[in-house]
Structure 1
C-alpha cells in the first residue's frame, strides 16, 4: 500500500510539472551597467523570466524556454556576460523540490511556540487557519478582515492589530505578501510578524506606538495554483480581462495599480507574466490593497510589499528611475532596515542592496504597489526582495531549512522600519 501511494505521488508530481519540460535556467552576472541594460532589454524578445533579480556585479537566475535557449546563449556570448547553467531540466528540478517539501512534512514542527511551522512552506489553508485562530484567541488586539473575495471566490483575509482597535490616531504600518503567487518565502515573513506582534511580544513599543495591517496572501488563487498545478505561476487567475484570458488567465497584480498603469515594463498580451490587465485595478486582489490604502491614508507612514528573490530593498520611482522628493528618507530608512537584516543574515547569502527600483534593476515597472502607495502620499514605501537562490543552491524555492532564519532577520527590518517611520512621520499623524 505504501509503495502504491509513493508511485501515485511521484506520478502526480511528474504530470504537474510537464509544462516545464525542456526549460533551462541560468546564472547570469553583468559586470557593468551597459551589460545589465542589454540583458534587461532582452526580457520581452526572449520571454525571459528572472526568478532572482539581477543587478551590476550581482548574480541572478533566469528561466529560458526551449525555443529561445540557442539565441539567448549566443547573445550572452556576444556581450561577454558571465553565465553558467543553473538547471538543465526544470521539470526534474521541480520534482526534486516537491519531494523535499513532502519529506519535511514528516518532521514538521512548531517554532518558538507559534501555531504555524516555519520549517516548511505552508498551504493557503494552513495560513488561513492560523490567522483565523489568532483573531479568535486575541480579540482584544486582533481583528480579522475578510470583506472581499478573490476572482475564484476565496476570501481575501488580513489582520488589523491594534491595542485600541484603530480608535486612536497612531501611525499605521502596512505589510503584504504573496501578490506574486510563486514567491512562497514572502507569506511566512508576514505570518511571523503576526506572531511577534501578538504571541511572542519582545518589542512592546510596536503596539504601543503603531497600528498594524498585515496581509499574508494577497493573491490566494494564484498561490493555490502554484502549489497544485504550476510551480512558477505568478499572476492572478482571472479569466475576464481579454478574449484570450480563458486560455491565458490572470494578471500581474503588481502591474495593476493605478499609477502610470501599463506605460512601461508591462505587456498587453494576456499570456505574458507581466500582463497589466484591461484597466487599472481590474483585479480584486490589487484593488483590495488600494482600498486599504484609501481607508488609512491619513495615518499610514510605512508600506512594505514582500517579494523574492534578490536581497534588495527598493523604493520609488520604479517606473522611470527619478527620485522622489522623499528620497533621502526613503534611502536612509532603507539602509537602516538592510543593516538590521545583514547583522543577522547567514554568511552564504549576499548583503541587501538598497536603492531606487529602476536604477538598481535597470528596468522600469509601471503600475506597481510601491509606486502607487507613494504616489498616494505614504512617505515610506518599499518592495522588499527576500534572499535566496545563490550559486550552489539547486532549487527554485529557498530551501525550507532557511525559512525560519529569513523570518527572524526580516522581522528585525520591520522593527527598525516602523521605529524610523515613527520618528520621521509619526508625530504629524498624531
Structure 2
C-alpha cells in the first residue's frame, strides 16, 4: 500500500511539472464569422471549432491564450466584434486534474480486466495498443492480420489491422478504412478505433460486416505526437518530425494538412510554427504515407474512409478547399446522416446532435486533408468525424469513453451496412 501511495505521489509530482508551460493560460470560447476564425489558426491555438446553432457562416471556437497574449487578442476580438467568454481560468490546473483522474482509472481498470490488455475505462499508451493488436492477431489468426506498416519519424512502429474472413483475397468485397489519432492530443479517438476492432473480431455482433466487407483500421496514426502529448505537452497536435526548415524551433507537421490535395495553396499553412503547418512537401511524414499507401493498395475496393477526430459532433465531407460538392454529394450526405442518426439514438441527453455537411460550409476552408485526398483519388464516401467532447471539450474524462465508443460503433455499423447495400 505504501508503495502504491509513493508511486501515485511521484506521478502527481511529474504531472505538476509537465504542465507548467500552461500555468495561467486561459481558454476562451469565441464566436465570429467563419473566415475570421480560420485566419486565427496562423496565430493562436484553436483547439476546436464548430458552427453556431443560430447563425449561418458563424463559428464558435475554443482558443488558448497565454497571459502574455491575452490582452492583445481580447482587444482584437473586440475590434472585430467577435464575442468571447472565458471558460477556464488556468489550463495547467485542468490538465493536472486530468492526469490524476486518468492515473486512478488506470489502476482501477487493471484490476478489472482479468487478463485483457485493453478495456474502455481509461486511456492507453501507444505500445500498449500495439501489444493488444498483436494479441488479437495471435488469438484470431483467421480474421485479423497485423501489418507493421512503417516506423514513425522517432522510430515507433505504426501498426494497423486488416480484418477479413477471406484474407483480403476476395476482390468483390468493399473495403472500409479508418484511422485515429493523426492529431496527437485527440485521445478519445484510439479507443473508438479499438472498439470497432473489438466488435468485428471479438464480440462479432454482426457477421455480415465481416462476411461482406474487409476492414483496415489504424488505431494510432501519429504515435510520436501521441506519446509526446502524454509525456511532455498535453496539447501537442502535430507529428514530431524535424526534416523541415525551422524544425529546431518548431518541430512537427499537421498530419491532416499533409495530403496531396490543394497542398501548398494556403500561405498560413506554410509556416512551421503554426498548428496547421502542412510540411515541406505532400506526404513528407511517414505517418501520412502509411494512410496514403493503405488507401492506394485498396483503391479498387475502398468504399468508405473515416478519419476519427475530436471534438465537435460532426461528419464532414468534401470539399474542404471550396464550398462545392463532389459529384456524389447526395450519397455522401445520405450516408453521413445514416451514421449520425444511429449515433444520436444512443447519445446522452446533454450531447449535441451530429451535424452532417460539406466541410467548407460547416466550418471553413481547409487544404491537404485526408478526407479530401481520399475522395479525390476515388474513394466514394470519405469523412472527417468529430467525436463528442460534452462540456469537457478536448479533455474527455475516462468515464465517458464507453459511452462514446458504444454510440460511435452504432454509427460506423450503420455506415458499413450502407456500404454493403450500395457497393457490395
TM-score (norm 1): 0.92
Alignment check: 8 A CA contact 1:257 1:372 kept: yes
Quick check: 1:105 aligned with 2:106?
yes
1:246 matched residue in structure 2: 248
Alignment of 1:20-419 (within 5 A): 20-30=22-32, 35-44=33-42, 47-57=43-53, 59-108=60-109, 115-169=117-171, 170-242=173-245, 244-264=246-266, 266-361=268-363, 363-390=364-391, 393=392, 396-419=394-417
Q: Secondary structure at the match of 2:418?
A: helix
Instruction: Go from structure 1 to structure 2 and tell me whether the alpha carbon gap of 1:14 and 1:350 turns closer, same or farther (over 3 Å shift).
Output: same
Residue by residue over 1:174-226, the C-alpha shift from the partner in whole angstroms, topping out at 9 and shown as x without a partner, is 01101011100001100000100000011110011000001100101111110
1:136 deviates by 0.8
Instruction: Go from structure 1 to structure 2 and tell me whether the alpha carbon gap of 1:297 and 1:112 turns closer, same or farther (over 3 Å shift).
Output: farther
Q: CA RMSD in A?
A: 2.0
Q: C-alpha distance in 1, partners of 2:268/2:114?
A: 41
Q: C-alpha distance in 2, partners of 1:104/1:52?
A: 26
Alignment check: 8 A CA contact 1:189 1:406 kept: yes
Alignment check: 8 A CA contact 1:28 1:54 kept: no
Residue by residue over 1:315-365, the C-alpha shift from the partner in whole angstroms, topping out at 9 and shown as x without a partner, is 00011221111100000110111001000000111000010111101x211
Instruction: Go from structure 1 to structure 2 and tell me whether the alpha carbon gap of 1:396 and 1:312 turns closer, same or farther (over 3 Å shift).
Output: closer
The runs of at least 4 consecutive aligned structure 1 residues that moved more than 4 Å come to 1-7, 109-115
Instruction: Go from structure 1 to structure 2 and tell me whether the alpha carbon gap of 1:422 and 1:146 turns closer, same or farther (over 3 Å shift).
Output: same
Q: C-alpha distance in 1, partners of 2:77/2:260?
A: 36
Residue by residue over 1:51-100, the C-alpha shift from the partner in whole angstroms, topping out at 9 and shown as x without a partner, is 23221237542212333322322333345544321111111211111111
Q: C-alpha distance in 2, partners of 1:41/1:154?
A: 34
Q: C-alpha distance in 2, partners of 1:59/1:260?
A: 26
Q: Secondary structure at the match of 1:180?
A: coil
Alignment check: 8 A CA contact 1:303 1:382 kept: yes
Q: Secondary structure at the match of 1:201?
A: coil
Alignment check: 8 A CA contact 1:236 1:250 kept: yes
Work out the number of aligned pairs and report it: 415
Q: C-alpha distance in 1, partners of 2:113/2:325?
A: 41
Q: C-alpha distance in 1, partners of 2:38/2:170?
A: 46
Alignment check: 8 A CA contact 2:350 2:390 kept: no
Structure 2: stretches of 5+ with no match in the other structure: 54-58
Structure 1: stretches of 5+ with no match in the other structure: none
Q: C-alpha distance in 2, partners of 1:224/1:156?
A: 13
Q: C-alpha distance in 2, partners of 1:231/1:335?
A: 33
Instruction: Go from structure 1 to structure 2 and tell me whether the alpha carbon gap of 1:265 and 1:17 turns closer, same or farther (over 3 Å shift).
Output: farther
1:389 deviates by 4.1
1:10 deviates by 2.7
Quick check: 1:425 aligned with 2:398?
no
Q: C-alpha distance in 1, partners of 2:276/2:254?
A: 5
1:20 deviates by 1.6
Residue by residue over 1:340-395, the C-alpha shift from the partner in whole angstroms, topping out at 9 and shown as x without a partner, is 1000000111000010111101x2111110000000000000000000042xx4x7
Alignment check: 8 A CA contact 1:340 1:412 kept: yes
